[in-house]
């Protein structure tokens, strides 16, 4: 599609929004129910499409990491949207009483959603569900790297939603660029920090407010004394599920210097237990494309050339197409490319530290991450990390799970993003908070109008004290 065609769809959606008015809670709940039914009914088609786009991805991963969290989020939206829509009363100063102040949450109109390839179902449908809960019309642009999934989503949504309610624009980067330039009422983008900058710049031409869900290098801090087997098993799962192609995957591990080798051995055992057949295991996911595969191999080669000890776990012969084995990079340093960019693959650099203060300082010296993980049995160490670092969300003594908590906002800070969605925060993000003051018939407002009198002085004395 070109810019003119996309603009025509936006105009139709905006006209439909003006014609039909703001949907009530029953309509919003009905739309969410339709979306959930579609996901369950089309589950085999969706799982097959994702598997084909990735060359290989287990249906278990798609169901567990995309379908289940999205359905859980939709259920939470359905159960709470009527309550969130109610006007919220706000305080009124004594001099303006008995007037009443309240906030009305209204839909913005048309929300644009640009979704990524790594979780092409969940990161498309969760923003869609949230925008529908807030009463909006929605236009979606899935990634061109997962075309089969995009087509499956278009067929699924087109079966029950009209194009002036929900529309999917498929196509390559040129369609994405044109999409990001449309004068939406709000635009949410999930993807890399690099592309996020272009999206924000394009949206600024029309002063379109944006929510950016980006990435970065999310650390996992292993505190001294914490059980290494438990920590390594959790980090390995968070790092290796979807072959590390997860925006909140632990990007690198900070491990006490004396425990680096023990942690590495525990990590190897966990990786072999999860994927007994190595990189050909049916549960193990391929890398999305050859360029992404080549980029990951280049990161490993660069680290090896600069003195790192590289451990590849469970390599298979012949290897599966575009598949990178679980890989540890021991002795990682700042000069290595693997420590300079988000990895987005099954490669885990391990950085040694001496004291928890050093680990905190290491995190704080770098751009604020989308996620942070701390493994500790010491409450004081946990509190130190929580209060002295700034990141997106945090999971303590596990990985990834904060994403599945429907009542927690999801979003980054600084280079890892701006704004948040999921749950109530998502509803607010895609709504306009309209402040309303209702004046009472009997009020003191006239005292502050000319001609001014002694009573005016008395009221001003009260206001200025």
Q: What CATH number does residue 303 fall under?
A: 3.40.309.10
Residue 222 has pLDDT above 90, yes or no: yes
Q: Same structural domain for residues 175 and 278?
A: no
Looking at residue 465, its pLDDT comes to 86
Residue 392 has pLDDT above 90, yes or no: yes
- Which of 336, 360, 374, 330 is CA-nearest to residue 348? 330
Instruction: Name the average pLDDT for the chain.
Output: 95
Within 10 Å of residue 261's Cβ, how many Cβ atoms?
A: 12
**Residue 65 in domain:** yes
Distance between terminal CA atoms of the chain? Answer: 62
**Residue 275 in domain:** yes
Q: Same structural domain for residues 245 and 177?
A: no
CATH code: domain of residue 208: 3.40.605.10
Q: Same structural domain for residues 210 and 346?
A: no
Residue 247 falls in the annotated catalytic set: yes
Q: Same structural domain for residues 194 and 157?
A: yes
Q: Same structural domain for residues 57 and 182?
A: yes
Measured N-to-C along each axis, helices 122-133 and 68-85 cross at an angle, to the nearest 10 degrees, of 10
Q: Same structural domain for residues 206 and 235?
A: no
- Report the alpha-carbon distance of residue 410 to residue 392 in Å, rounded: 7
How large a percentage of the chain has pLDDT more than 90? 90
Distance of CA 384 to the CA centre of its chain: 25
Confidence of residue 203 (pLDDT cuts 50, 70, 90): very high
Looking at residue 168, its pLDDT comes to 97
**Residue 121 in domain:** yes
Element (H, E) at 31: helix 25-41
Looking at residue 103, its pLDDT comes to 97
Looking at residue 96, its pLDDT comes to 83
Strand order in the sheet with 347-353: 309-312, 327-330, 347-353, 252-256, 219-222, 371-375, 393-396
3-state SS assignment for residue 311: strand
Rg of the chain, C-alpha, whole Å: 25
Residue 190 has pLDDT above 90, yes or no: yes
Looking at residue 319, its pLDDT comes to 78
Looking at residue 385, its pLDDT comes to 98
* Choice among 247, 268, 279, 406 that is catalytic: 247
Q: Same structural domain for residues 396 and 425?
A: no
Residue 124 falls in the annotated catalytic set: no
Confidence of residue 171 (pLDDT cuts 50, 70, 90): very high
**Residue 456 in domain:** no
- Which of 412, 411, 373, 376 is CA-nearest to residue 394? 373
Q: Same structural domain for residues 30 and 161?
A: yes
Confidence of residue 26 (pLDDT cuts 50, 70, 90): very high
| φ/ψ (deg, to 5) at 451 | -75, 140
Mean pLDDT of 356-377: 97
Within 10 Å of residue 18's Cβ, how many Cβ atoms?
A: 9
Tokens describing residue 58: 């287990």
Sequence-distant contacts of 199-208: CB under 8 A, at least 24 apart: 199/114, 202/177, 205/181, 206/181, 206/182, 208/112, 208/182, 208/183, 208/184
Looking at residue 94, its pLDDT comes to 80
- Which of 246, 323, 338 is CA-nearest to residue 287? 323
- Report the alpha-carbon distance of residue 183 to residue 202 in Å, rounded: 10
Confidence of residue 265 (pLDDT cuts 50, 70, 90): very high
Range of the domain at 338: 219-404
Element (H, E) at 253: strand 252-256
Half-sphere CA count of 338, side-chain side, radius 13 A: 32
Residue 446 has pLDDT above 90, yes or no: no
The number of distinct structural domains making up the chain is 2
Mean pLDDT of 246-261: 97
User: Over the stretch 395-417, which tens digit does the pLDDT of each residue have?
Assistant: 999 999 999 999 999 999 999 99
* Choice among 181, 213, 279, 342 that is catalytic: 213
> Checking DSSP bridges between strand 210-213 and strand 431-438, what pairing results, if any?
unpaired
3-state SS assignment for residue 400: coil
Mean pLDDT of 137-145: 97
The answer to whether 241 touches 118, Cβ cutoff 8 Å, is no
**Residue 441 in domain:** no
Residue 105 has pLDDT above 80, yes or no: yes
Looking at residue 315, its pLDDT comes to 74
**Residue 463 in domain:** no
Q: Same structural domain for residues 167 and 135?
A: yes
Strand order in the sheet with 431-438: 88-90, 100-107, 431-438
Q: Same structural domain for residues 234 and 201?
A: no
Confidence of residue 1 (pLDDT cuts 50, 70, 90): confident
Confidence of residue 326 (pLDDT cuts 50, 70, 90): very high
Confidence of residue 318 (pLDDT cuts 50, 70, 90): confident
Q: What is the pTM of this model?
A: 0.94
Residue 376 has pLDDT above 80, yes or no: yes
Mean pLDDT of 181-205: 95
- Which of 77, 88, 86 is CA-nearest to residue 28? 77
Q: How would DSSP label each residue in 273-310?
A: HH-TTGGG-TTSPPPS-HHHHHHHHHHHHHHHHTTPEE
**Residue 442 in domain:** no
- Report the alpha-carbon distance of residue 57 to residue 327 in Å, rounded: 19
Q: Same structural domain for residues 377 and 390?
A: yes
**Residue 80 in domain:** yes
Looking at residue 448, its pLDDT comes to 80
- Report the alpha-carbon distance of residue 334 to residue 447 in Å, rounded: 67
The answer to whether 23 touches 81, Cβ cutoff 8 Å, is no
Q: Same structural domain for residues 231 and 372?
A: yes
List of residues 6+ apart from 234 with CB closer than 8 A: 373, 375, 397, 398, 399
């Amino acid at each position: 599609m070109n810019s003119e065609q996309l603009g025509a769809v936006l105009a139709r959606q905006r006209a439909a929004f003006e014609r039909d008015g703001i949907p009530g809670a029953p309509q919003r709940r009905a739309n969410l129910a339709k979306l959930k039914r579609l996901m369950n009914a089309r589950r085999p088609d969706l799982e097959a499409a994702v598997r084909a786009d990735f060359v290989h991805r287990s249906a278990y991963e798609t169901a567990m990491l995309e379908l289940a969290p999205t359905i859980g989020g939709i259920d939470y939206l359905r159960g709470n949207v009527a309550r969130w829509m109610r006007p919220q009363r706000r305080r009124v100063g004594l001099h303006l009483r008995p007037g009443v102040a309240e906030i009305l949450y209204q839909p913005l109109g048309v929300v644009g959603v640009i979704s990524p390839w790594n979780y092409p179902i969940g990161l498309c449908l969760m923003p869609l569900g949230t925008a529908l809960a807030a009463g909006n019309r929605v236009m979606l642009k899935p990634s061109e790297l997962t075309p089969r999934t995009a087509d499956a989503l278009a067929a699924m949504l087109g079966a029950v939603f009209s194009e002036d309610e929900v529309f999917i624009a498929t196509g390559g980067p040129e369609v994405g660029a044109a999409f990001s330039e449309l004068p939406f009422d709000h635009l949410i983008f999930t993807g890399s920090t690099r592309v996020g900058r272009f999206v924000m710049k394009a949206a600024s031409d029309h002063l379109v407010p944006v929510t950016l869900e980006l990435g970065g290098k999310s650390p996992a801090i292993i505190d001294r004394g914490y059980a290494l087997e438990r920590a390594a098993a959790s980090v390995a799962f968070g790092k290796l599920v979807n072959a590390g192609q997860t925006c909140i995957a632990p990007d690198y591990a900070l491990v006490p210097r004396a425990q680096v080798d023990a942690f590495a051995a525990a990590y190897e055992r966990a990786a072999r237990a999860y994927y007994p057949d190595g990189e050909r295991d049916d549960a193990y996911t391929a890398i999305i494309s050859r360029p992404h595969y080549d980029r990951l191999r280049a990161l490993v080669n660069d680290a090896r050339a600069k003195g790192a000890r590289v451990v590849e776990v469970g390599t298979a012969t012949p290897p599966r197409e575009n598949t990178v084995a679980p890989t540890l990079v021991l002795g990682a340093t700042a000069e290595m490319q693997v420590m300079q960019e988000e990895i987005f693959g099954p490669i885990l650099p391990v950085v040694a530290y001496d004291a928890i203060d050093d680990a905190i300082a290491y995190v704080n010296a770098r751009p604020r991450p989308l996620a942070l993980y701390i493994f500790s049995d010491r409450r004081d160490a946990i509190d130190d990390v929580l209060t002295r670092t700034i990141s997106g969300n945090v999971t303590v003594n596990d990985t990834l799970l904060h994403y599945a908590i429907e009542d927690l906002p999801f979003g980054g800070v600084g280079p890892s993003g701006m704004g948040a969605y999921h749950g109530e925060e998502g509803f607010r993000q895609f709504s306009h908070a309209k402040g309303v003051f209702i004046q009472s018939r009997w009020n003191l407002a006239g005292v502050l109008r000319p001609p001014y009198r002694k009573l005016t002085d008395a009221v001003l004395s009260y206001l200025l004290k």
